[in-house]
Structure 1
Amino acid sequence: MKTLKNIFLLFLTIGMLQSCIVSERPNMDFFSDSGYDFHGARFMSVNVPMMVAKPYIRKALKEDGESEEVINLIRKISKVKVLTVENGSEEMLKDYAQYLRDHQYEDWASVKHDGDHVNIRVKQNGDAIKNLLITLNSGKELVFVDVKGNFTTDDISKVINSVSDK
């Protein structure tokens, strides 16, 4: 019985760690479409295991003096995917934006700072936000963050206001 328990724990650990593996293949729908020509772009993707990451994130935010709104928002996150693209193009970014519009994502905010562009898009049903996509564009280097959870527009507004106050 003890051996069976150890084998189960080993497989459970391997399953949890598997989601921590960094891959050179895209982990987001638009980019994993094999029919699109990415013109030599290089990808690095990470699936963040929230069960493991949440305690570390909350602790770091508390140590940094972040507001309770930001810390409470972390509780509502169920999954985070990060994709970095080297040697990306404006055409790819435009096609990605069109793909998101076709899939009912709404543009919420666009910020330009020192030549970098940050776009925030959401997919919502009434007041419920299920997906939050953040795009960071710095020339040919792009970062895409896909956050899944169960948020409200009020949750996002509180976070934006707490960050804006700083």
Structure 2
Amino acid sequence: MKMLRITLFYLLVIGTFQSCIVSEKPNMDFFSDNSYNFKEARFTSFNVPLLLAKPYIKKALREDGESEELISLIKKVSKIKVLTVENGSKEMLNDYAKFLNNNHYEDWATIKHNGENVNLRVKQKGDAIKNMLITVNSDKELVFVDVKGSFTPDDISKMLNAVSDK
């Protein structure tokens, strides 16, 4: 019985940290297309282990003085994937935007800050938002964050208001 508990514990730990593995292969649909010519773009991707990240994110938001209402949105997140692209091109970014439009993502907001563009797109069915894509674009460096969860339009609006107030 003791050996079974130890084995289960190690399997849980390995499963938790397995999603932490950093890869040079893209982890998002558009960028996984082998037929697309990404030229000299270099990718780095990882899945954020929420079991470890949620407490850290909540603590950081509290330290920054964010409202409990915004912090409670973290509970609604079920999965986060991050992809960074070095040497990306405007053409690739435009093709990515077309891909998202073809896959029913709606452009909700674009925020310009210090020469960087932050774009938020969501995939919505009725009042349920299951997927949110955040793109940070500055010249040739791109960051894509794919957030899955169960959000409402009001949740996204609160998040945008909190960000735009800063």
Q: CA deviation at 1:4?
A: 2.2
Tell me which residue corresponds to 1:138: 138
Deviations 1:29-84 (A, max 9, x none): 11011111100100011100112211111112112211122201111000111100
1:105 aligns with 2:105: yes
Tell me which residue corresponds to 1:54: 54
Q: CA deviation at 1:119?
A: 0.9
CA–CA separation in structure 1 for the residues paired with 2:137 and 2:165: 24
1:110–1:117 Cα contact (<8 Å) kept = yes
Task: Give, as a single letter, the amino acid of the residue that structure 2 aligns with 1:152.
Answer: T
Moved more, 49-58 or 77-86: 49-58
Task: Give, as a single letter, the amino acid of the residue that structure 1 aligns with 2:163.
Answer: V
Gaps of 5+ in 2: none
CA–CA separation in structure 1 for the residues paired with 2:138 and 2:35: 25
**Percentage identity across paired residues of the two chains:** 69
Q: CA deviation at 1:114?
A: 3.1
1:128–1:152 Cα contact (<8 Å) kept = yes
Tell me which residue corresponds to 2:128: 128
Task: Give, as a single letter, the amino acid of the residue that structure 2 aligns with 1:76.
Answer: K
Tell me which residue corresponds to 1:66: 66
Residue 22 of structure 1 aligns to a residue whose secondary structure is coil
1:81 aligns with 2:117: no
Give the total of aligned pairs.
Answer: 166
Deviations 1:60-110 (A, max 9, x none): 211221112220111100011110000000111011001000100001111
Tell me which residue corresponds to 1:14: 14
CA–CA separation in structure 1 for the residues paired with 2:10 and 2:155: 38
Tell me which residue corresponds to 1:114: 114
Residue 96 of structure 1 aligns to a residue whose secondary structure is helix
1:108–1:121 Cα contact (<8 Å) kept = yes
Task: Give, as a single letter, the amino acid of the residue that structure 1 aligns with 2:115.
Answer: G
1:89–1:140 Cα contact (<8 Å) kept = yes
Tell me which residue corresponds to 1:94: 94
CA–CA separation in structure 2 for the residues paired with 1:63 and 1:110: 26
Gaps of 5+ in 1: none
1:42–1:86 Cα contact (<8 Å) kept = yes
Tell me which residue corresponds to 2:32: 32
Tell me which residue corresponds to 1:151: 151
